[in-house]
Structure 1
Amino acid sequence: MRVLAAMSGGVDSAVAAARAVEAGHDVTGVHLALSKNPQSFRSGARGCCSREDAHDARRAADVLGIDFYVWDLSDRFAADVVDDFVAEYAAGHTPNPCLRCNEKIKFSAVLDRAVALGFDAVCTGHYARLVRPDPDEPGRVELHRAVDAAKDQSYVLGVLRPDQLARAMFPLGDTVKTDVRAEAARRGLAVAEKPDSHDICFIPDGDTQGFLDARLGTRPGTIVDADGTVLGSHDGSHHYTVGQRRGLRLGVPADDGRPRYVLDISPVTNTVTVGPRESLHRQEIHADRPVWTTGARSGAWRGAVQVRAHGEPVPATVEIEDGRLRAVTDEPLTGVAPGQAVVCYDGTAVVASATIVPTR
């Protein structure tokens, strides 16, 4: 097959590309330029998409003996990921930009262009497994959790449709991270010990609040309890997420002395509501825009749901009501924030994902 290997400049994508070459595919490497003004170097494990990353990807491609290109997708990334991130915070939501990048960039913009250029699949270094359960249906693909639970990325891939999964390759799904680094060293890839990227790639300094302030400005408002009693003030409701405990700077301590958490964010009134941890507990989740990875299901079914990239799955009953996904969990979840994705599993297989909406 003709395979386009997305190479970020990190160890995972380099080894994934190497495995695609070793499997006998005709592989071409591509680095995605996602920033109009990339930094020259990364700050340790923060960010990605720097000039250093592009050079590292090119050097890995040279070692593998494959053609290599840089695709400028900065405009698309800014519109579909960065602007969406800012708009979601302005609406009082908590977005996941990595999930949005997979949906809009890597498996939409990149895959669409790859197919138009005659490639059969896009290969990435994501930790997830693709399973073809029926040999008589080679086009049917299931997305499963990776063997390395600590690195599993099936959650952020839960937005992919069956047709996209059919043209995806995740060669690292059956491997633990330590073995990937050892393999990179054996193959002579200089990125073998390169730190993993953390935090949000387009905020390399890690200052999310400063990033949002530069785009949304500051707007003083109040922090209140569930009864509306003013407890403090803030410079913008976009500084907060549901479930947040630190940085509230409340002037009035709780009567019982226990810490308080963000329960609700209202951008319209610019009010942040706080309260005790137990007020965060939710057993019923409603979510819009469901995406089915293996085809839609009807009626109620038993599975598990996960609401954070590295959260624990919780057993639940899931169904679709009037086009909206509804999940009732067996035990309460804490800090379920609008804008997050809820990803539904059947065992290790991803079934669907949807975007959580405000509920009471």
Structure 2
Amino acid sequence: MKRVVVGLSGGVDSSVAAYLLQEQGYEVIGLFMKNWHDDSVTISNECPWLEDSNDALLVAEKLGIPFQTVDLSEEYKEKIVDYMFNEYEKGRTPNPDVLCNREIKFDVFMKIALSLGADYVATGHYCKKAQTSIEGKTVYQLQAGADGNKDQSYFLCQLSQEQLSKALFPIGELTKPEVREIATQMELVTAEKKDSQGLCFIGKVRLPEFLQQKLQPKEGVIVQIDKDNPIYKTKNEPVLNSREELILAATKITYTPEMGNVVGKHQGAHYFTIGQRKGLNVGGTKEPLFIIGTDVATNVIYTGLGSQHPGLFRKALFIANPEVHWVRSDMKLEHGQKLEVMVRIRYRQPLQKAMLYQFETGMYISFQEPQSAITEGQFAAWYHGDELLGSGVIS
């Protein structure tokens, strides 16, 4: 009997994952990760970790498996929360869920599981793991989950071969309704529980309030840029594959206040992100205003009218070399190589046709169609078919 530690989160997905592993004959242990107890960064009353850990305990009791809570709040603060504050301060928008998987669940948590004699760590992610043999060596593959609406492979885009080798995703072949159906049949307390929102394992966080705990508000202006501004004349020409054209297409426009008109005030450029339209509090426009640029150095936010404003779109992005990560390390591109792939730049975005170009400084991704709201600090993940090959942080 192989031993598996399941990250029981108190949700329906991990509950059913534990049950399925038990059915398959594994020796299952349930562990709940407590990732938060810093009340100085007040999270609204919807911080449900107590309720979640209780539900996880009830599921473990129902299944008759050993259960304990591990406190990872120190590691979580250092690896996720501090990183988030640093990124926002630089004017970038981090993705804590991707990081939580790489740094907490499949690193700190995995080490605890292995110290308990586990052969594997399992989670309730909607994705699949497969393996193939290349030149006599086992290579692990991360694949999209069977439920197209719930596929979570993107959140695991930073995993390594070593992490994948020890990972199990028991519900990857199921759809969400099928998972709920199993939980109902098994009379698990989580069967009808709503999906958790917000930060990985923390629950709901109102981001502006969360950031205001560490990043002080400072008043600045909101500038509106006209869609017919001459700066957009050459921006979205077709990208060929010369390096100069890739650099031009991937470089974001540097705005200055004199390019537009001041239309309002804000409380800190570091609270806002490209593509955002809520929270600007500027009325009287015939279409919503979208953020097309932020400058944390001068504390100015730049906006454009409507979702089709040219300032929202780019045809290429750049990932610096240290940030390029291959799940399939055997497929890594060398300098001068290119690869046709499908890419998404945010969770749930439909896959986009693109080309990867590797140079000595890093990788350019050139899209067939211009992409809206390419955001620094977020992850771009590239796929071949339903297999996730690699990812990187957008520069």
Distance 1:135 1:320 in 2: 23
CA-CA distance at 1:275 after TM superposition: 2.4
CA-CA distance at 1:95 after TM superposition: 1.3
Aligned to 1:216: 215
Distance 2:201 2:195 in 1: 15
CA-CA distance at 1:203 after TM superposition: 6.7
Q: Which amino acid aligns with 2:327?
A: T
Distance 2:12 2:136 in 1: 33
Aligned to 1:248: 280
Aligned to 1:10: 11
Aligned to 2:91: 92
Contact 2:127 2:145 survives alignment (8 Å): yes
Aligned to 2:246: none
Aligned to 2:31: 30
Distance 2:317 2:134 in 1: 36
Q: What's the secondary structure of 1:196's corresponding residue?
A: coil
Contact 1:98 1:156 survives alignment (8 Å): yes
Distance 2:203 2:76 in 1: 16
Aligned to 1:347: 385
Q: Which amino acid aligns with 1:325?
A: M
Q: Which amino acid aligns with 1:351?
A: L
The CA deviation string for residues 152-189 of structure 1, in whole angstroms up to 9 with x for no partner, is: 10001001011111110001111000010110111221
Contact 1:9 1:57 survives alignment (8 Å): yes
Distance 1:203 1:24 in 2: 31
Distance 2:68 2:345 in 1: 36
- Identity percentage of aligned residues: 33
Contact 1:43 1:204 survives alignment (8 Å): no
CA-CA distance at 1:58 after TM superposition: 0.9
Misfit runs of 4+, over 4 Å: 135-138, 201-206
Contact 2:292 2:304 survives alignment (8 Å): yes
Q: Which amino acid aligns with 1:283?
A: K
Please identify, of 112-121 and 77-86, the stretch whose mean Cα deviation from structure 2 is larger: 112-121
Q: What's the secondary structure of 2:132's corresponding residue?
A: coil
Q: Which amino acid aligns with 2:87?
A: E
CA-CA distance at 1:136 after TM superposition: 8.9
Distance 1:323 1:186 in 2: 54
Change over 3 Å in CA distance of 1:62–1:291 after alignment to 2: same
Match of 2:324 among 290, 294, 306: 290
Distance 1:249 1:53 in 2: 35
CA-CA distance at 1:355 after TM superposition: 0.4
Contact 1:47 1:200 survives alignment (8 Å): no
Q: Report the TM-score when normalising by structure 2.
A: 0.83
Change over 3 Å in CA distance of 1:150–1:165 after alignment to 2: same
Contact 2:197 2:203 survives alignment (8 Å): no
Aligned to 1:279: 311
Consecutive unaligned residues of structure 2, counting only runs of 5 or more, are 226-254
The CA deviation string for residues 282-335 of structure 1, in whole angstroms up to 9 with x for no partner, is: 110112311111112331000111011111110100122225221101101101
Pairwise CA RMSD: 2.2
Match of 1:316 among 337, 340, 354: 354
Q: What's the secondary structure of 1:265's corresponding residue?
A: strand
Q: What's the secondary structure of 1:238's corresponding residue?
A: helix
Aligned to 1:306: 344
Distance 1:209 1:307 in 2: 23
Match of 1:237 among 257, 269, 277: 269
Distance 1:205 1:167 in 2: 30
Distance 1:168 1:190 in 2: 25
CA-CA distance at 1:3 after TM superposition: 0.9
Distance 2:136 2:6 in 1: 25
Aligned to 1:51: 50
Q: Which amino acid aligns with 1:24?
A: G
Contact 1:231 1:252 survives alignment (8 Å): no
Q: Which amino acid aligns with 1:312?
A: P
List aligned pairs for 1:60-209, cutoff 5 A.
60-134=59-133, 139-201=138-200, 204=203, 206-209=205-208
Say whether residues 1:264 and 2:302 are aligned partners: no
Distance 1:22 1:15 in 2: 10
Distance 1:211 1:132 in 2: 41
The CA deviation string for residues 109-159 of structure 1, in whole angstroms up to 9 with x for no partner, is: 111222233211100000001011349968321001011011110001001
Change over 3 Å in CA distance of 1:138–1:169 after alignment to 2: farther
Contact 2:381 2:390 survives alignment (8 Å): yes
The CA deviation string for residues 201-225 of structure 1, in whole angstroms up to 9 with x for no partner, is: 5774542111111221211112223
Contact 1:47 1:199 survives alignment (8 Å): no
Distance 2:300 2:222 in 1: 6
Distance 2:44 2:169 in 1: 27
Q: Report the TM-score when normalising by structure 1.
A: 0.91
Distance 1:137 1:114 in 2: 29
Q: What's the secondary structure of 1:107's corresponding residue?
A: helix
Please identify, of 229-238 and 157-166, the stretch whose mean Cα deviation from structure 2 is larger: 229-238
Q: Which amino acid aligns with 1:32?
A: M
Distance 1:231 1:25 in 2: 61
Change over 3 Å in CA distance of 1:205–1:157 after alignment to 2: closer
Q: Which amino acid aligns with 2:349?
A: G
